[in-house]
């Protein structure tokens, strides 16, 4: 996602301090509109995706996986990082198949959000996937998903309130889903 405008901030120099296959750690030197010079350190990624897979009008798929940095399991929507020059939709389709073992015939982009402003320039695209069909689970990373679970849409708010869903990206995606489904009379 491209910025709306820079509000007078100008990048003078950008340096890559560290890189791995998933992200880069950058340092920018910049000037403010009043001429002051500053330095900013941040994580750069090509982007990420979250997929909200609806089995039917009342049921959603979530995946359970161990999150090393948090030292606990996380119940979340399928999702992951985009590769450089990969479209958000292509990444979403791959993540749904890899993590949940489904393909979807219908895709609706619900919106974008920044998962951690101030730390990363990443934009996460959220998709609603419907008309799902099981397929082989092409799990590219054996350390990711441990279980695929079905939940009623009506239970998601309670799972968040009880702390069973604690992934911020899943909670943000759920806000976009709730907004998209708010016109439904059966929810």
For the chain, give the mean pLDDT.
Answer: 92
Contact between 1 and 112 (Cβ < 8 Å): yes
Q: How far is it, in rounded angstroms, from Cα 160 to Cα 181?
A: 18
The answer, yes or no, to whether residue 184 has pLDDT greater than 80, is no
Closest CA to 59 of 151, 154, 160, 177: 151
**pLDDT tens, position by position, 141-178:** 666 777 999 999 999 999 999 999 999 999 999 999 99
Q: How far is it, in rounded angstroms, from Cα 39 to Cα 13?
A: 10
What pLDDT is stored for residue 187 in this prediction?
46
Which class for 146: exposed (0-12), middle (13-18), buried (19 or more C-beta within 10 A)? exposed
Q: How far is it, in rounded angstroms, from Cα 61 to Cα 56?
A: 10
Give SS3 for 95.
Answer: helix
Per DSSP, what are the bridge partners of residue 15? 27
**pTM for this entry:** 0.90
**Fold of the CATH domain 48-181:** Nucleoside Triphosphate Pyrophosphohydrolase (3.90.79)
Copy the structure tokens of residue 108: 């609706």
Domain boundaries defined on the chain: 10-44, 48-181
Which class for 3: exposed (0-12), middle (13-18), buried (19 or more C-beta within 10 A)? exposed
**pLDDT tens, position by position, 9-39:** 999 999 999 999 999 999 999 999 999 999 9
């Amino acid at each position: 996602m491209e910025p709306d405008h820079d509000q007078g901030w100008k990048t003078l120099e950008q340096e890559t301090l560290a890189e791995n296959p998933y992200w880069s750690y950058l340092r920018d030197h910049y000037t403010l509109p009043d001429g002051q010079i500053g330095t900013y350190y941040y994580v750069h990624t090509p982007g990420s995706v979250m997929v909200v897979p609806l089995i039917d009008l009342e049921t959603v798929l979530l995946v359970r996986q161990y999150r090393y940095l948090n030292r606990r399991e996380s119940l979340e929507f399928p999702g992951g990082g985009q590769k450089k020059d990969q479209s958000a939709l292509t990444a979403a389709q791959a993540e749904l198949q890899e993590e949940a073992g489904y393909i979807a015939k219908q895709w609706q982009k619900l919106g974008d959000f920044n998962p951690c402003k101030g730390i990363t320039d990443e934009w996460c695209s959220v998709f609603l996937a419907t008309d799902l069909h099981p397929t082989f689970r092409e799990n590219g990373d054996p350390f990711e998903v441990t279980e695929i679970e079905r939940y009623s849409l009506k239970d998601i708010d309670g799972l968040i309130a009880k702390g069973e869903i604690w992934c911020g990206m899943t909670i943000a995606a759920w806000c976009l889903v709730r907004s998209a489904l708010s016109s439904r009379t059966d929810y």
